[in-house]
């Protein structure tokens, strides 16, 4: 062969993707590889090129190349096709795995789906993933399917796939958080840990004392998701004693304190996180909102400047920019909030900020839609407050009272939720001006 395939694999292994994809283009165009004599070789070459394109973030080209590989795969003589399938038990399904020794149709479909998912083409990604038999799905495949189903609002199917992830591996933290947010009870999540397959020969998780912290973590996330903020904070506090200065736990505590209005405590914890790791971006838009509420614009300016220098593509950065620009240019601030949602349609602070700005711009009907967007993702005190005040702004007293009572039902121990009912009654009786 004119182009040694193992050299492309070596380039991929060394993360030299640009060279790999250029060399790959020589490989697939080589005159010595003819379709008639070796469709399998053609397919393998296309997969190598597709992997290089994937890592170069040329997702459309990668999809096209992987589909060409599947086309060649389908015309491989049946005998060699069966042989290639039987030799794949140790292959990784990751799009970042380059050890191509044979062809696995399911893995190529997963790679195509991964490209579509990165391009926010959820429906196209699901079409590919649903073509993979459930018994053939790896952990990565199950997680991608769960995310796609959740994004498509197929909640029951998403829950099934997230549970399957935890049966593969109980430490898939994003599956734990997602199941909590989707309303699965802590005991049901924890029960999955004992169902972990014993392929590795290790003891089931529930027999290992050292992982009791994971059960506490599940309970904490389920408390927060069900608006039991006090219980969640207590459990996170216990975890913090065991894992002092744990950035993830400090961020969860700070965000929860921000939601329930413990602003000073939240600011202190956000500042502690930044002192440990000044390059953290997660939840820093929540911190920006707190700094604005406190009127500390010098810190807010510095925070936004720092975030822009860390990663200007993250949704948190655009929410922080929106917070910074709110006083100077509300319409400009609104465009930043909308940009954060375009980057990540599940980014709750983006919806909260968008609703707040629309209400300030005297567009309460549009504000209701934004706050409802936040509430559908995760109903918390702020989305209820935004809904009540938006409805009151255009005299929808009945709807405001319904939202306030929803808040009371969700958070019976919250004085701020109770105050929302009082706000509606006061507005309705003319006891105070509407905002």
CA dihedral 354, 263, 420, 359 (to 10 degrees): -20
Distance CA 239, CA 221 (A): 12
pLDDT at 60: 96
Mean pLDDT for all residues in the chain: 87
pLDDT at 76: 74
Q: Of the given ranges (79-83, 306-310, 370-374), which has the lowest mean pLDDT?
A: 79-83
**Average pLDDT for 155-184:** 95
pLDDT at 36: 54
Listing DSSP states for 5-70 in one string gives HHHHHHHHHTT-HHHHHHHHHHHHT-TT--TTT-HHHHHHHHHHHHHHHHHTT-HHHHHHHHHHHH
pLDDT tens for each residue of 108-139 = 999 999 999 999 899 999 999 999 998 999 99
**Average pLDDT for 352-379:** 94
pLDDT at 5: 80
Reported confidence tier of residue 1, pLDDT bands at 50, 70, 90: low
Q: Please determine, for residue 260, whether its predicted confidence score (pLDDT) is greater than 70.
A: yes
Residue whose token pair is 């700094």 = 291
Q: Please determine, for residue 367, whether its predicted confidence score (pLDDT) is greater than 70.
A: yes
Q: Please determine, for residue 6, whether its predicted confidence score (pLDDT) is greater than 60.
A: yes
Ordered structural domains, the chain, with CATH: 1-132 (1.25.40.10), 137-197 (no CATH), 208-278 (1.25.40.10)
Q: Please determine, for residue 285, whether its predicted confidence score (pLDDT) is greater than 60.
A: yes
* Higher-pLDDT residue of 94, 26: 26
pLDDT at 205: 53
pLDDT at 88: 36
pLDDT at 209: 57
Taking the model in full, what pTM does it have?
0.84
Within the chain, what is the greatest distance between any pair of CA atoms? Answer: 86
Distance CA 11, CA 325 (A): 45
Q: Of the given ranges (34-48, 151-165, 264-278, 411-425), which has the lowest mean pLDDT?
A: 34-48
pLDDT at 179: 97
Q: Please determine, for residue 335, whether its predicted confidence score (pLDDT) is greater than 50.
A: yes
* Higher-pLDDT residue of 222, 44: 222
What percent of the chain has pLDDT above 90? 66
Q: Please determine, for residue 416, whether its predicted confidence score (pLDDT) is greater than 50.
A: yes
Which among 279, 226, 298, 224 is positioned nearest to 255, based on CA atoms?
A: 224
Rg of the chain over Cα atoms, rounded to whole angstroms, equals 26
Q: Please determine, for residue 83, whether its predicted confidence score (pLDDT) is greater than 80.
A: no
119 φ, ψ (degrees, to nearest 5): -90, 10
**354-379 per-residue burial string, b: 16 or more CB within 10 A, e: under 16:** bbbbbbeeebbebbbebbbbbbebeb
**Average pLDDT for 246-268:** 94
Kindly give the interhelix angle for 263-276 and 284-294, rounded to the nearest 10 degrees: 130
Q: Do residues 307 and 281 lie in contact, with contact meaning Cβ atoms separated by under 8 Å?
A: yes
**Average pLDDT for 145-164:** 95
Reported confidence tier of residue 98, pLDDT bands at 50, 70, 90: very low
């Amino acid at each position: 062969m004119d182009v040694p395939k193992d050299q492309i694999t070596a380039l991929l292994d060394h993360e030299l993707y640009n060279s790999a994809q250029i060399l790959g283009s020589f490989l697939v165009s080589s005159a010595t590889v003819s379709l008639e004599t070796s469709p399998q070789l053609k397919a393998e070459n296309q997969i190598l090129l597709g992997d290089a394109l994937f890592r170069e973030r040329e997702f459309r080209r990668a999809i096209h190349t992987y589909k060409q590989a599947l086309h060649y795969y389908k015309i491989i003589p049946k005998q060699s096709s069966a042989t290639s399938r039987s030799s794949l038990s140790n292959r990784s399904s990751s799009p970042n795995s380059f050890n191509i020794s044979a062809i696995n149709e399911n893995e190529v479909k997963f790679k195509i789906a991964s490209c579509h998912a990165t391009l926010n083409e959820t429906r196209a990604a699901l079409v590919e993933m649903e073509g993979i038999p459930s018994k053939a799905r790896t952990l990565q495949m199950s997680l991608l399917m769960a995310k796609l189903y959740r994004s498509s609002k197929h909640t029951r199917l998403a829950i099934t796939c997230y549970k399957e992830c935890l049966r593969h591996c109980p430490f898939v933290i994003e599956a734990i958080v997602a199941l909590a947010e989707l309303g699965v009870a802590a005991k049901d999540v924890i029960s999955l840990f004992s169902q972990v397959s014993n392929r590795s020969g290790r003891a089931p998780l529930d027999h290992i004392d050292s992982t009791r912290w994971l059960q506490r973590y599940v309970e904490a996330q389920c408390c927060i998701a069900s608006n039991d903020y006090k219980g969640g904070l207590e459990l996170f506090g216990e975890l913090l004693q065991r894992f002092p200065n744990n950035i993830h736990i400090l961020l969860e505590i700070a965000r929860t304190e921000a939601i329930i209005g413990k602003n000073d405590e939240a600011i202190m914890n956000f500042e502690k996180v930044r002192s440990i790791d000044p390059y953290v971006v997660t939840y820093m838009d929540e911190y920006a909102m707190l700094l604005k509420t406190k009127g500390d614009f010098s810190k807010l300016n510095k925070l936004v400047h720092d975030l822009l220098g860390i990663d200007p593509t993250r949704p948190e950065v655009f929410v922080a920019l929106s917070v910074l620009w709110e006083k100077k240019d509300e319409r400009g601030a609104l465009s930043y909030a909308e940009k954060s949602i375009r980057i990540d349609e599940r980014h709750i602070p983006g919806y909260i900020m968008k609703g707040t700005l629309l209400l300030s711009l005297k567009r309460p009907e549009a504000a209701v839609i934004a706050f409802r967007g936040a509430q559908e993702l995760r109903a918390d005190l702020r989305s209820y407050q935004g809904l009540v005040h938006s409805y009151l702004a255009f005299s929808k007293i009945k709807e405001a009272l319904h939202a306030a009572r929803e808040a009371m039902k969700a958070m019976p121990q919250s004085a701020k939720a109770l105050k929302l009912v009082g706000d509606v009654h006061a507005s309705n009786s003319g006891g105070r001006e509407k905002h």
